[in-house]
Amino acid sequence: MAKIVRMSKEQRENLVAYLDGELEDPAAREIEQVLASSPVARHDVDMLSRTWDLVGELPHISVTREFTSKTLDSIAASRTGPRVDPDAISRNSRRILGFALAGMILGAAGTIGFLATNRWIPNEAEEILNDYEILMDLDKYREVGDLGNLRKLQEFREFNEADDDSP
């Protein structure tokens, strides 16, 4: 089975010049070789040729000089582009710079606020964790009653610990 040869992008771009006879010899020979070996390329050229023939059959409409000059003026104006106001650019730049500065100040204030509250405002969860040992025996401390009973209990424990240490 023969391999189908396809036209390159550059060759496709040169097809109109080839059909008009405006293509130079090396490029024209290259397209002719592809046309000789590829039915797909021949079909593409045939369709393009038919399209140009149909365009040629369209009625020719003549336009006034005023239309031509207006069209050329609008093309020239579009090539130069719209006029840019340097003052508008300066105002917009200052506005963007102001928003960026305000955002940075707001971000810095938020960061400082977070760090300050995280460091200096007490955290209830940390306080509970620090007092964990006391909280574990809280029910026992409530049963003791007043502070005097607690001191007597402590003396009693010290006495018992002293007995445990002696041989």
Structure confidence by residue, pLDDT tens digits, 16-31: 788 888 888 888 888 8
Lowest mean pLDDT among 24-38, 56-70, 94-108, 134-148: 134-148
Q: What is the mean pLDDT of the chain?
A: 80
pLDDT grade for 109, boundaries at 50, 70 and 90: very high
Phi, psi (rounded to 5 degrees) for 29: -65, -40
Smallest CA-to-CA distance from 45 within 55, 30, 34 is with 34
Q: Cβ neighbours of residue 15 under 8 Å, at least 6 residues apart? A: 7, 31, 44, 45, 48
pLDDT grade for 125, boundaries at 50, 70 and 90: confident
Most confident of 23-27, 46-50, 97-101, 118-122: 97-101
What is the spatial distance between Cα 139 and Cα 143, in angstroms, rounded to a whole number?
6
